[in-house]
Amino acid sequence: KDIEYIRSYYFNKKEDTRFSSSVGKFVGFTERGVRVAAAWNKDASKLSAMKAQKEVYCLNHVQIDYNNIL
Contacts of 38 (CB under 8 A, 6+ apart): 28
pLDDT tops 70 at residue 1: no
Beta bridge partners of 7: 19
State the pLDDT at residue 56.
82
Q: Which residue has the higher pLDDT, 63 or 12?
A: 12
pLDDT in tens, 6-30: 999 999 999 999 999 999 999 999 9
Angle, helices 31-42/44-53, rounded to nearest 10 degrees: 100
For the chain, which residues make up each domain, given as ranges? 6-68
Rounded-to-integer distance, Cα 27 and Cα 40, Å = 10
Alpha-carbon distance 41 to 46, whole Å? 8
CATH number given to 6-68: 3.10.320.10
52 vs 59, which has greater pLDDT?
Answer: 52
